[in-house]
Structure 1
Amino acid sequence: MPAPAKNRQMLRFGTFLAINLVALTAPAPSIAQPAPAAAAPAQEIRGFSYSDLADLALTAQVVAGVTVVKAERLKGELAPNLAAGKARFLIEAQTGMLLRGADGLAGTISYIVDVSLDARGRAPKLKKARFILFANRVPNRPQEIRLTSPYSQLDWTQTTESALRAILTEATAPSAPPLVTGIGNAFHVPGAIPGESESQIFLTTADNRPISLSILRRPGEQPQWAVALGEMVDDSARAPARDTLLWYRLACFLPQRLPEKAVAALSAGNADAVRADYRHILDQLGPCGRTIPR
């Protein structure tokens, strides 16, 4: 005797739902900086910062542009742990572009997403909508992907696409700065005249490539600081422009305080000078600018 239609549907989606529920139900921690209203779904959020896009793009296996072909709403037992004011959909979409994904992506893919209902409790119309997705692959299921977070389905716009292309192009270049993991040690050298000095702060990175920060002070001048992506600091070293990958690696990943171990070998006066120089660098970098949880 054939299984009832409901049971067949549950069997069809059971594994797929289990794979996708982690990202869909992940709690959103509090954010220090101004954030979109909590009820706003990812695809309706406007004004993502450079850091938001970099966080999403650089941690996803796949970044793709898609057009929704079919949107099937899942209810009841097919939508466990669904938050109030949300609707869950199984999406079938056509891949239109692949911004990141070394192994390619199927022409038609499926994924699950939660979206917000409007004031009348109605779900948005998703069919034919264009989105940019940040997702991971599902092992042994080449036509299925799993969104990496509740913010991983964004409305497609040319501005967003261009920003993501720039981030991912810079990240894959041979000269791309590595991920900063902390601070190693630092030194400080007073100059020959009062008010003149130089500090250098060495950073630790995920792949052990060298990065150092240098700060030069001269009497009557603004402090000059630069970043060196190598063993030596030369005239080519500059402070990074905002909304570039190097700026993001520093502004979003440097600790807010210089660790004591970095200046443990220095005299008290030199240690205080390095701390002041480090605070100056953080001030010049400005806030990371995240508006969504990582």
Structure 2
Amino acid sequence: MILLGFSTATLAQAPLDLPSSFVIEADKASYADIADLVVISPLIVDVTVRKVRKLPTEQAAGVPTSLERVLVEADVMALIRGEGGITPRVRFLLDIPKNAKGKIPKIEKQRMYLFGRQVAGRPGEVQLARPNALALFSANNDALVRAITKEAVQVNAARRIASVSSAFHSAGTVLGEGETQIFVKTDNDQPLSLTILSRPGQQKIWAVSTAEVIDASATAPQRFTLLWYRLACGLPRALPADRVEGASKADTARAQADYSFVIESLGPCGRNR
């Protein structure tokens, strides 16, 4: 895995007449929008567009009339993520939305991030992870891309949540005391559990553990980290009653209330795309 540093100094870019659904803007990116692309992209490259060439109709079969398929050549400013390096110049196909006049904006000289993968056996060719897997360069976007990538490449990086597998609530010895444990299934069966503690006269607290044995020193995740993103964007909004094991109606209700407390504490996912 390669993470290269570079100066963030750059010329101011002219605003593009493109919807934010197509490219993440320089000054309005959310953590979730960037993370959505980082976690699915084995290649992340900071580039400056050098040349854009419209493709003939026969090479753009199936492209909606609202889009223009082009071949983009770009100079690599930095390789953020990728195995085996990257060529100094890359090429990629892009379907650009047309404006009201049927024209596409000029993106030459624009600095942006590409999220995708290298095409096997074709050095310098990049396939975008999604048709809109682009983000304009800015100091804010640079910080987000690098911070999220640094977490995502770790061996124990938080993984995509598949479902809530089970939960149970244990009442305490005094009124108002109790503990709820919720076990979460991830796409690679990484251990993940939530613990919510209630004590009379004290504020309810919760923590997340990523170990096989629940860590007594675990805490709630810091906002705008990869673990926070996985939880805030991946957990269902409510705890299904059938996931609460061997509980009375009262205990099920407590477990569901504790789960709602976690969701409220995490706050909105913040995904805009």
TM-score by length of 1: 0.79
| Whole-angstrom CA distance in 2 between matches of 1:41 and 1:177 | 26
**RMSD value over aligned CA atoms?**
2.3
Which residue does 2:11 correspond to in 1? none
Q: Which amino acid is the alignment partner of residue 269 of structure 1?
A: A
CA contact (8 A) 2:60 2:69 kept: yes
Task: State the shift of 1:236 in Å.
Answer: 2.5
**Partner of 1:214 in structure 2?**
195
- Which residue of structure 2 lines up, in the alignment, with residue 180 of structure 1? 161
**Which of the numbers 82, 92, 96 marks the counterpart of 2:73?**
92
Structure 1: segments with no counterpart, 5+ residues: 1-36
CA deviations on 1:206-262 (whole Å, 9 max, x unpaired) are 232321101111122221111112133444211112211111111111122323442
**Partner Cα separation in structure 1 for residue 23 and residue 263 of structure 2:** 32
Q: Once the 2 structures are TM-superposed, how far is the Cα of residue 119 of structure 1 from its aligned partner?
A: 4.4
1:26 corresponding residue in structure 2 = none
Q: If you compute each CA radius of gyration, which structure gives the higher value, 1 or 2?
A: 1
Cα distance in 1 for partners of 2:46, 2:245 equals: 50
Deviations 1:185-224 (A, max 9, x none): 2221111211111111111122323211011111222211
Q: Is the 8 A contact 1:40 1:116 kept in 2?
A: no
User: CA–CA distance in 2 between the matches of 1:259 and 1:137?
Assistant: 41
Number of residue-to-residue matches in the alignment: 256
- Counterpart residue number, 2:9: none
**Pairs within 5 Å for 1:78-157:** 78-157=59-138
- 5+ residue gaps, structure 2, are 1-16
> Is 2:14 the counterpart of 1:64?
no
TM-score, with normalisation over the residues of structure 2?
Answer: 0.85
1:53 is matched with which residue: 34, 37, 62?
34
Counterparts in 2 of 1:258 and 1:44: CA distance versus 1, 3 Å = closer
Instruction: Give, as a single letter, the amino acid of the residue that structure 2 aligns with 1:168.
Output: T
Aligned to 1:240: 221
8 Å contact 1:187–1:200 — kept in the other structure? yes
Identify the range of structure 1 (54-63 vs 228-237) with the bigger mean alpha-carbon deviation.
228-237
1:286 maps to which of 253, 267, 273: 267
Structure 2: which amino acid aligns with 1:97?
A: A
Alignment match, 1:43: 23
- Alpha-carbon separation, structure 2, partners of 1:226 and 1:40: 35
1:77 aligns with 2:77: no
CA contact (8 A) 1:45 1:154 kept: yes
In structure 1, what residue type is equivalent to 2:92? Y
